[in-house]
């Protein structure tokens, strides 16, 4: 049986973390090909239901490449994004799914190496956790 390669959904942001992720590619910094990025304007826009939807649909982990203090929209972006992560993690816990499947870190426009490290370490952590059992998060509706 082949090794389990976790599927990771990354939420990035147009002006801050997405350029950092682009830079990782430009520098040929490799990370697992099962990392997929959806870009938003700001990490404070992420909805907990999108996170749970991802884990219900086949992703094993969700990583939020947050704007952090570089956010050009919202001064307390980190606090707001952390609240979204907290809410999603609480919902996962209720369904006996590990909160560690959701991870958040600030990734700036030059954080190529940091992004690569995050992906490698998150992938390793998820490999230990095993597949997310999507069935656990079924049936609760979008808001769980």
Partner 1 sequence: MMEEKKRKIGVYICHCGGNISDHVDVEAVREQVEEQYGVTVARTSMFTCSDASQNEMMKDIQEQGLDGMVVASCSPKLHLTTFRNMSTRAGLNPFQYVQVNIREQCSWAHADDHEGATCKAANLVGAGIEKVMRQEALQPIRVTSVKRVLVIGAGIAGLRAALELADLGVEVFLIEKEPAVGGMVGRLGEMFPADKNGVELIAMLLAEVKKRPNITLFLNAELAEKSGHIGEFELTIRIRNAAAADRTEEAVRIQVGAILVASGFAEYEPKPGEYGFGQPGVVTLSEFERLLQEGGEKLLHDGSEVKKIAFVYCVGSRQGQETENANRWCSRYCCSAAAHLAVQAKKKFPGAQCYHFYRDMRTYGKFESLYEEAGKSGSLFLRFDAEHPPRVEKNGGSWLVTVQDLLTGGDEVAVPADLVVLVTGMTARANDELTCVLKLPLGAERFYNEIHPKLRPVETVIDGVYIAGSCQGPKNAGESVVSSLAAVAKAAALLIKGYVDLQPFVAYVKADLCAWCGQCAAACPYSAIEKVTYGDKEVAQVVDVLCKGCGACLPVCPLDATQLKGYTDEQIEAMIDVLAREAAHEG
Residues that bind partner 1 (CB under 8 A): 1-5, 7, 9, 15, 18-19, 21-26, 28-38, 40-42, 44-50, 53-54, 57-59, 69-75, 80, 83-84, 87, 109, 142-143
In the complex, minimum distance from the CB of residue 1 to partner 1, in angstroms, rounded to a whole number: 8
Minimum separation from the CB atom of position 138 to partner 1 (A): 14
Q: Is the CB of 36 or the CB of 138 nearer to partner 1?
A: 36
Smallest CA-to-CA distance from 43 within 25, 62, 64, 61 is with 64
**Phi, psi angle pair for 34, to nearest 5°:** -90, 20
**How far apart are alpha carbons 16 and 42 in whole angstroms?**
9
- Distance, in Å, from the CA atom of 86 to the CA atom of 48, rounded to the nearest integer, reads 9
């Amino acid at each position: 049986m082949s090794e389990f390669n976790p599927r990771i959904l990354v939420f990035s942001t147009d002006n801050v973390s997405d350029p950092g992720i682009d830079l990782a590619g430009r520098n040929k910094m490799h990370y697992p090909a099962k990392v997929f990025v959806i870009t938003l304007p700001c990490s404070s826009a992420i909805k907990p239901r999108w996170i749970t939807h991802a884990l219900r649909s086949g992703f094993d982990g969700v990583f939020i490449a947050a704007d952090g203090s570089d956010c050009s929209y919202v001064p307390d972006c980190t606090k707001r994004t952390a609240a979204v992560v907290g809410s999603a993690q609480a919902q996962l816990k209720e369904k006996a799914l590990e909160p560690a499947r959701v991870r958040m870190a600030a990734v700036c426009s030059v954080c190529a190496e940091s992004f690569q490290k995050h992906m490698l370490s998150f992938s390793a952590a998820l490999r230990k956790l095993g597949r997310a059992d999507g069935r656990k998060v079924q049936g609760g509706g979008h808001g769980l």
